[in-house]
């Protein structure tokens, strides 16, 4: 079994250690004897994204997001093809924003998104930002898990019809949203940096499972071999104690 991944704009969208997400996926795959093939796609590079099991797009500042927009929009039909053919998509922060209608930068420039979804992102007023550790409760296709991460975004994402989870600690999609991220079975978008996957082995395995299903439709989450997660559990327990919440 093999997992084929394309990391889009790896050279400019790697904010707050998003590279760690790919490192975790690779390690958890190899520990299960699942082949892991990581490819990258930069501005101007020709790639058929529908050939991959997973597409990953990380976070970046306004400057980076603006620089890649023409290239990203030129790939809209190919990304849609990938989604139609069950390629799973993981989006962090800026990547999450760009799959919506538009994003308004800190200088009030309106940046057109891919417009796959109805959500859109306004900018925080007077430069205000959602910053700090965040914990959410999520239900991933029946798999209930508590997700922990770090958020730092001025963008306020609104009109989110399929949130990833309920905020237990922190802000979320916007200051008063009470909900964080987006998940509809095809894409998982979130503001959680840190990076996301090292702190959340259930989410990492869920991404692996959803990606493997493209070529193995009968594959189940329970088919993933259990791994030793002593360090991950210890890190999570420490954070939950700090926030005075249970894991």
Question: Where do the domains of the chain lie, and which CATH numbers do they carry?
Answer: 2-242 (3.40.50.880)
Query: Could you say which of 10, 93, 130, 153 is catalytic?
Result: 93
Tell me how far apart the alpha carbons of residues 132 and 82 are, in angstroms, rounded to a whole number. Answer: 34
3-state secondary structure of 121: strand
User: Which secondary structure element, helix H or strand E, spans residue 8, and what is its range?
Assistant: strand 2-8
Per-residue pLDDT tens for 136-168?
Answer: 999 999 999 999 999 999 999 999 999 999 999
Residues 6 or more apart whose CB falls under 8 angstroms from that of 128 comprise 154, 175
- Alpha helices (H) in the chain, listed in sequence order: 19-30, 62-74, 76-84, 94-98, 201-212, 230-242
93 is catalytic: yes
Block residue for tokens 């001025």 = 154
Question: What global pTM score does this model have?
Answer: 0.96
Per-residue pLDDT tens for 194-245?
Answer: 899 999 999 999 999 999 999 999 999 999 999 999 999 998 999 899 988 8
Instruction: Please enumerate, by residue number, every residue annotated as part of a binding site.
Output: 129
Instruction: Please enumerate, by residue number, every residue annotated as part of a binding site for substrate.
Output: 129
Please answer whether residues 174 and 182 qualify as being in contact, where contact means their C-beta atoms are separated by less than 8 angstroms. Answer: no
29 is catalytic: no
């Amino acid at each position: 079994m093999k997992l084929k991944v394309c990391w889009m704009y790896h050279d400019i969208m790697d904010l707050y250690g998003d590279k760690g997400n790919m490192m975790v996926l690779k390690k958890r795959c190899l520990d299960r004897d699942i082949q892991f093939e990581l490819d990258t796609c930069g501005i101007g590079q020709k790639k058929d994204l529908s050939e991959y099991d997973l597409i990953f797009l990380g976070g970046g500042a306004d400057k980076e997001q603006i620089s890649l927009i023409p290239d990203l929009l030129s790939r809209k039909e190919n990304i849609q093809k990938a989604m139609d053919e069950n390629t799973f998509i993981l989006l962090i922060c800026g990547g999450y924003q760009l799959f919506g209608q538009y994003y308004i930068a800190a200088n009030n420039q309106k940046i057109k998104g891919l417009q796959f979804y109805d959500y859109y992102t306004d900018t925080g007023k007077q430069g205000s930002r959602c910053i700090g550790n965040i914990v959410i409760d999520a239900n991933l296709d029946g798999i209930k898990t508590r997700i922990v991460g770090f958020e730092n975004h001025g963008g306020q994402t609104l009109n989110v019809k399929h949130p990833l989870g309920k905020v237990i600690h922190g802000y979320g999609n916007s200051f008063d949203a009470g909900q964080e991220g987006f998940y509809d079975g095809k894409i998982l978008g979130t503001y959680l940096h840190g990076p996301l996957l090292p702190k959340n082995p259930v989410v990492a395995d869920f991404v692996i499972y959803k990606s493997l299903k493209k070529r193995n439709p009968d594959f189940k989450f329970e088919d993933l071999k259990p791994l030793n997660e002593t360090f991950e559990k210890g890190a999570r327990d420490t954070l939950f104690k700090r926030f005075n919440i249970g894991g």
